[in-house]
Amino acid sequence: MDQRSLGLSGLQVSALGLGCMGLSYGYGPATESRDAIALIRAAVERGVTFFDTAEAYGPGHNEEVVGEALEPFRGQVVIATKFGFKNGVPADGLDSRPERIRQVADEALQRLRTDRIDLFYQHRVDPDVPIEEVAGTVKELIEAGKVAHFGLSEAGADSIRRAHSVQPVSALQSEYSMWWREPEAETLPLLEELGIGFVPFGPLGMGFLTGKIDATATFGAGDFRQIVPRFTPDALKANQTLVDLVGRIAAEKQATPAQIALAWLLAQKPWIVPIPGTTKLHRLEENLGGASVELTGSDLASINQALAAIEVQGERYPASHGRFVNR
């Protein structure tokens, strides 16, 4: 697989990474550790070198699985993890106090079976801790050799600039897809200005852009989409126009809708590295095929013109989650 550089940081990763969250958290019961490890190792065998996890996915369980899976390949891969929630539990609120950041780093190193975190993100901006203090703490961890690169997730422009002035930010991770294009207005120009890479999560619209979800869809216990406004039956029905568009393009390109959604993201900027997640080997292989789909300038212009005419319905998070986004 082609390699990409996350901005000007020098951090080289595969053009598509693997988001590992869904193996342990967010989409229902955790995948059996043995199966999760097999899937992660299958990704390595297919050229993936970038793996995303977090303390909060489990909590701790996902890091342990990722650490065990990647231990034999440690010199060949880049592992990203995150800090920022009390006790590693999002429902408990935010916590980016320096002592907590240091604790999370030490615990992550043990769970990941490594002596260095390649990319350490603040999972969400904490309004109770100045971002300069957060960046300074990660800078100390970098100087101590425990962390290689600093990242932010779902941070707003002001937070990104302030953090970057203390410790260069290598990557921003935020949601971005055909279904959620807000980063195009302010975030992408800022990242280009500062030389920061972009790692879109939810590149397949939490599964919606694959064409496998319609207004009749139901979600099992533990699947966070149960509470997401964009996944109500009315919103899914209203947004079907977007899925139909992606499906038509896929048919023209002899690709799948998922591959078109990923190829579209890859075509936006050379420093964008999506991290689709899956629990199934055939979906992993399908997703990775998106890196080989070429969209021409004419294709992209046609797609963007069509997207501009579609108004996506439904908020991406319930109101209770608003405190975790874009500070």
Pairing of the two strands 197-201 and 169-175: parallel
Tokens 């600093």 locate to 150
What residues does 175 pair with on adjacent strands?
201
Cα separation, 61 vs 30, whole angstroms: 9
Residue type, 285: E
| Closest to 216 (Cα-Cα) out of 231, 230, 229 | 231
Contacts of 8 (CB under 8 A, 6+ apart): 195, 196
Out of 25, 57, 121, 176, pick the active-site residue. 57
For residues 165 and 132, what is the distance between their CA atoms, to the nearest angstrom? Answer: 8
* 312 Cβ neighbours under 8 A, 6+ residues apart: 179, 180, 230, 239, 242
Please, are residues 179 and 242 in contact by the beta-carbon 8 Å criterion? yes
Least Cα distance to 163 among 133, 193, 126, 187 occurs for 133
In the annotation, is 25 catalytic? Answer: no
Segments of the chain assigned E as strands: 3-5, 12-14, 18-19, 50-52, 78-83, 117-122, 147-153, 169-175, 197-201
Two tokens, residue 244: 């139909």
Q: What is the dihedral of CA 238, 241, 246, 252, to 10 degrees?
A: 160
Q: 162 with 155: CB under 8 angstroms?
A: no
Active site (catalytic) residues? 57
